[in-house]
């Protein structure tokens, strides 16, 4: 009997250790702030019209600093947008760069999960709205999400099929929480809680916004209200709290489609 009890205790200890090992396999980083990265001097590139690195005309300095709400820059200047996205899938990376007291810094957001390795770009689409080509791309990092909207497509007329793009960048930061984002969903796939960054919502009710569905074709610009409206509206729901509105970070022009989208 004593031998049997000992064997059972050893089995339970092994199961417990295996369980701990499985839990430790997913270990998200501290969420203090990883949005600002310093760009090495030899990798700093200035904005140029007709490339994939263009000037970002920010809404205002206060809004830009709010984008980095956990660690706002002191004196940001020379704002730049870097687009590196696949033309077909919409997967890729967006960088928001700026200079701050002589140092170049950036935020890097992508269609990849910040730390689990999964990815999703199913909402990133080119489509036509009122006769105009439009692109929506939503990307995230550990602190929040951005939506890149292209609403101006001008042919270069060189016979090569490329074009110059213009549009805007919108952002929504995650709410304050001690919990980490789960490893299996991108924020635009989450339906409730502080990591829900959905936009272009339709359906649902004010009390059950979790029942709303994302329709990227429903609006040119980000919305947070299921019945329409614009990005300044707040989706006010008791089931999980108020939804923060997407805020316009800035606008851009001169983006060369063949370089930005590898056309």
Q: Which two tokens stand for residue 141?
A: 């990092």
Half-sphere exposure of 129 (CA within 13 A, CB side): 16
pTM: 0.81
Query: What pLDDT does 175 receive?
Result: 77
Query: What pLDDT does 233 receive?
Result: 41
Query: Left if phi > 0, otherwise alpha if psi is -120 to 50, otherwise beta: which for 144?
Result: left
- Domain map of the chain by residue range? 31-260
Radius of gyration of the chain (CA): 22
Query: What pLDDT does 211 receive?
Result: 67
The residues, any chain, with a CB within 8 Å of residue 60's CB and separated by 6 or more, are none
Q: What is the 3-state secondary structure (H, E, C) of 54-122?
A: EECEECCHHHHHHHCCCCCCCCEEEEEEEEEECCCCCCEEEEEEEEECCEEEEEEEECECCCCCCECCC
Query: What pLDDT does 122 receive?
Result: 96
* Cβ pair 114, 107 in contact under 8 A: no
Query: Left if phi > 0, otherwise alpha if psi is -120 to 50, otherwise beta: which for 185?
Result: beta
Residue 123: which of 138, 103, 105 has the closest Cα? 138
H or E element: which one contains 183?
A: none
pLDDT tens for the chain, 263 residues long, are: 545 444 444 544 444 444 444 334 444 444 444 687 889 888 888 999 999 999 999 999 999 999 998 788 999 999 999 999 999 999 999 999 999 999 999 999 999 999 898 999 999 999 999 999 999 999 999 999 999 999 999 987 766 668 999 999 999 998 777 788 999 999 999 988 889 899 888 776 554 555 678 888 988 999 754 444 444 444 433 334 455 689 999 999 999 999 999 98
Residue 199: which of 144, 141, 251, 238 has the closest Cα? 144
């Amino acid at each position: 009997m004593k031998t049997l009890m000992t064997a059972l205790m050893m089995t339970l200890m092994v199961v417990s250790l295996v369980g701990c090992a499985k839990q430790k396999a997913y270990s998200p980083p501290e969420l203090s702030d990883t949005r600002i990265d310093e760009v090495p001097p030899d990798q700093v590139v200035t904005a140029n019209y007709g490339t994939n690195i263009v000037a970002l005309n920010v809404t205002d300095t206060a809004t830009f600093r709010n984008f980095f709400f956990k660690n706002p820059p002191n004196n940001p200047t020379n704002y730049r947008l870097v687009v590196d996205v696949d033309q077909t899938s919409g997967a890729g990376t967006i960088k928001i760069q700026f200079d701050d007291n002589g140092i170049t810094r950036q935020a890097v957001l992508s269609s990849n999960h910040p730390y689990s390795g999964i990815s999703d770009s199913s909402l990133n689409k080119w489509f036509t709205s009122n006769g105009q080509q439009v692109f929506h791309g939503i990307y995230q990092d550990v602190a929040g999400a951005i939506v890149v909207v292209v609403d101006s497509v001008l042919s270069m007329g060189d016979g090569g099929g490329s074009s110059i793009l213009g549009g805007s960048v919108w952002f929504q930061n995650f709410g304050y929480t001690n919990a980490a984002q789960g490893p299996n969903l991108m924020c635009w796939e989450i339906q409730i809680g502080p990591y829900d960054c959905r936009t272009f919502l339709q359906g649902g009710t004010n009390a059950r916004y979790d029942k709303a569905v994302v329709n990227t074709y429903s609006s040119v610009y980000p919305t947070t209200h299921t019945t329409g409206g614009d990005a300044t509206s707040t989706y006010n729901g008791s089931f999980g709290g108020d939804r923060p509105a997407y805020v316009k970070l800035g606008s851009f022009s001169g983006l060369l489609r063949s370089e930005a989208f590898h056309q």
